[in-house]
Structure 1
Amino acid sequence: MNWSLLKHYLLSRSFLWLLFLFNFLGSIYGFYWYGNQMAHTEWYWNFFVPDSPTSSSLFTIVVLLWLLGKRSKVLEMLSMVTNLKYGIWAVGVIITYWNANGRVDATDLMLMISHGAMAVEVVLYNFNYKFDNRVLWIGACWLLFNDFVDYVYTIHPWLQDERFTAYIQFWTPVLSLLVLTFTAFLRRERARSK
């Protein structure tokens, strides 16, 4: 299958509705998943707790806007950087615990596939995004402030245990910076290919 044919399928209304539905349902499940942590967190920090479902919700909104013939450069950018970051973050954390524990369970496998899909889908749709690097600073503020809140006020996603918290605390902002750099590269290459 060539790239132009794949783009045609990715932008077909039936596929976009399917993508919208899967992301919508996944977002709802994600917020449910974080319910206990949100219940144990002060209400004013609750916006920062469910990182992954917030990210998938942003992409869900972007897809809905496309279906309605609308665009939002800022929402497109935020959906890209947050889904990339939290998709990769979750896969990395799960693999870290798998390696340490020496076992794989079905729930972690489901989480790894779903979070990996978050990162893949936004890269796959890079060709359709309209934002440029001038709005990327908003994404930088979003990601880095969230990292600050997560690890200064300890509202990061609950981990299996505390064995790797220090490593995760170090690598999370590094990942944010790498995601921002990668996104800037993708958008620059997209601009050049036009």
Structure 2
Amino acid sequence: MATYSEEFREEVVTEYLEGPLGYKLLAKKYNMPSPTPIKRWVNAYKAFGKEGIRNKRSRSYYSFQFKLDVLNFMKQTGASYQETAIEFNLNQPSLISNWKQIYVKEGIEGLKEKSKGCPSMSDKEKSKQTKQGKDLSREKQLEREIELLRLENAYLKKLKAFQENPNAYLEKHKQRWHSNSKKKDSN
């Protein structure tokens, strides 16, 4: 992702607001791969003025509750990232996108503040012990890789057979299933 200077952003936004060119033509004029950044800059400029398109010099801290409120607002109203950012005075809609991805992956716990810095020494010792137990010999690693490749190969063969003739493949496996269930019943 390309980063653009504040002066460049301001120039593009001013040209958009004062000139006849739209987002796509401006993106083309300045050799930008997409008009999306220009849209974001213009919306941020309209909402916050020059502050909206400036790079933040320091990292901002957002509380757990604030993040939840932002995500709930977005869910309830169906607002876009940009609209939500403007509503909550954020000049980076990508922050909200990151919070949402974390929420989807890790759940509510992912939004809580994580401790910073190095873990304590006792944690390092524990992780070393478990790591040594997990280290497999080169031979074991290769055997594991071969097994995984065999499984993948078998899966791809079955997938190919199914794609070529789904009905025949299903009939074959129905017969196998019925014959296996009869064997179990006779025991």
Q: TM-score range by the shorter chain?
A: under 0.3
Structure with more contact order per residue of length (Cα contacts < 8 Å, sep ≥ 6): 1
TM-score by length of 2: 0.23
Q: What TM-score, normalized to structure 1?
A: 0.23
